[in-house]
Structure 1
Amino acid sequence: MNDKIAKVRTYAKENMSKDRSGHGFDHIQRVANMVLQLMGTEPANGEIALTAAYLHDVFDDKIASDPDAKRDEVKAKLTEFGFDQAEINQVMDIINHMSFSDNIEHKQSLSKEGQIVQDADRLDAIGAIGIVRAFQYGGAHGRTIYDPNIKPRDLTTKAAYRNAVDDTTINHFYEKLFKIASDLNTDAAKQIGKKRTQYMRDFVTEFKQEWDQ
């Protein structure tokens, strides 16, 4: 880990360690680790990819109280850490276009580094850890675990995705998590995603069987 990435990691840890919605620094570090794993078969600029991985949730509008101010702070920090403007632009372009919600209405164009970071972030939303994070986020936001009378929504806009009124955590699997694997970019991520998706499907099947007993 070079000095610039070490500074980025420390800054991300300072900002995300207290999050209890499933986007804490443990999530950030897993995404960074997965970036390194995917780059084993997908050559890319590791410095750009890791920087975006560490910072991708710092000014997310689900987390930051003032996303615009936090975005400006991140840019200033990157300059302070020794990144030039072209590198900062690459990092910000990845973060600004990689989220699930920003790709609902039309798929955003991402660099190879962006595709890797997006895959790494999405892989952490599925599988065993994805299940835990889904319930952690739901609990943090007072979401109902399950109600068979509330059906999954057809999410065709970002506004619909953000409007979680009368939503349930189990519905979130149908609305988002089961769909993630089909939208992954890299072959390596797709292989991992297929296995993790099946694990989630088995879990939801078992959950509903137990619910109805």
Structure 2
Amino acid sequence: MITLEAAEQAATSELARAALRHAADELAGDSSGHDPSHVLRVFRSAQGLARAEGADLERVEIIAALHDLKDFKFTGDTSTGPHAAYAWLIESGADEMLATGVANDIAGISFKGAGTPLQPLSLEGGCVQDADRLDALGAIGIARCFAYGGHVGRPLFDPSVPTVNHTTVESYLQTQGTSLNHFYEKLFLLRSRMNTATAKNIADARHEFMEKFVAQFLDEWNGKDSE
């Protein structure tokens, strides 16, 4: 089990450790699946990807620690997260180049709809994006999907509600949908959108697990397993 203390010990710099503590304070009490434990999992996963891909480890750690601050899903503004990371880094004594680079990567990490334009990322940003997307897959991904759905008031499923290929951030934020639809609108799309070969290999097994879960969910919903 990864803890904040263990993550701090594994971090490569005091700035990365401070970023972890800041994120833990900012996200404490979250019930949507974007809590400090999510940050710690992304942090650890991103470290592994960074080593495998030859990325700058400290920068990866800082991006991972700060990637969910003031996230657009909760503020409705895609600029709040990057601005929060940039401001904290400058206040913490980071140089302008690092703060700007981290903010630019954070601006492009989140999934904002299947049809929305992708923002170019550095190698470090790509590692964190992969780690963040891996945490949206598999058993944890399923749990987080339904936690978020409950947090925003989505029903589990409604066969009359169609899935949507969101082409704008506004559509992605404003369409209520259902938790099961989220698998088709986002989660099942992530495997093919990984940046690194390492993440793609991990994503395969988690994707297949989710496919089995959804098939079982639908069988139970429709009573097929009791026929």
TM-score (norm 1): 0.93
Letter in 2 for 1:143: R
Q: Quote the offset at 1:45 in angstroms.
A: 1.0
Structure 2: state its 5+ residue gaps. Answer: 1-10
Secondary structure in 1 aligned to 2:53? coil
In structure 2, the CA distance between the partners of 1:157 and 1:57, relative to structure 1 (3 Å rule), is same
Contact 1:8/1:81 (<8 A) preserved: no
The equivalent of 1:88 in structure 2 is 99
Among candidates 19, 25, 37, match of residue 14 of structure 1: 25
Q: Quote the offset at 1:77 in angstroms.
A: 2.3
Q: Which moved more, 1:77-86 or 1:128-137?
A: 77-86
Q: Which moved more, 1:113-122 or 1:153-162?
A: 153-162
Percent identity, aligned pairs only?
38
Q: Aligned equivalents of 2:107 and 2:114: distance in 1?
A: 11
* Equivalent residue pairs, number: 212
Contact 2:78/2:107 (<8 A) preserved: no
1:104-150 CA deviation, whole Å, 9 max, x = no partner? 42221111001101101111011100000000000011101011122
Map 1:84-163 → 2, pairs under 5 A: 84-101=95-112, 104-163=115-174
Q: Is 1:55–2:55 an aligned residue pair?
A: no
Map 1:159-198 → 2, pairs under 5 A: 159-165=170-176, 167-198=177-208
In structure 2, the CA distance between the partners of 1:102 and 1:49, relative to structure 1 (3 Å rule), is farther
> Which of structures 1 and 2 has the larger relative contact order (alpha carbons within 8 angstroms, sep 6+)?
1
The equivalent of 1:3 in structure 2 is 14
Q: Quote the offset at 1:18 in angstroms.
A: 1.4
TM-score (norm 2): 0.87
1:158-194 CA deviation, whole Å, 9 max, x = no partner? 22211223x1100110111000000110000001111
Among candidates 175, 189, 200, match of residue 210 of structure 2: 200
Q: Which moved more, 1:196-205 or 1:146-155?
A: 146-155
Contact 2:145/2:179 (<8 A) preserved: yes
The equivalent of 1:42 in structure 2 is 53
Q: Quote the offset at 1:80 in angstroms.
A: 3.1
Contact 2:52/2:198 (<8 A) preserved: yes
Aligned-residue CA RMSD (Å): 1.9
Contact 1:138/1:169 (<8 A) preserved: yes
Structure 1: state its 5+ residue gaps. Answer: none
Q: Quote the offset at 1:157 in angstroms.
A: 2.4
Secondary structure in 2 aligned to 1:154? coil
Q: Aligned equivalents of 1:119 and 1:144: distance in 2?
A: 28
Secondary structure in 2 aligned to 1:108? coil
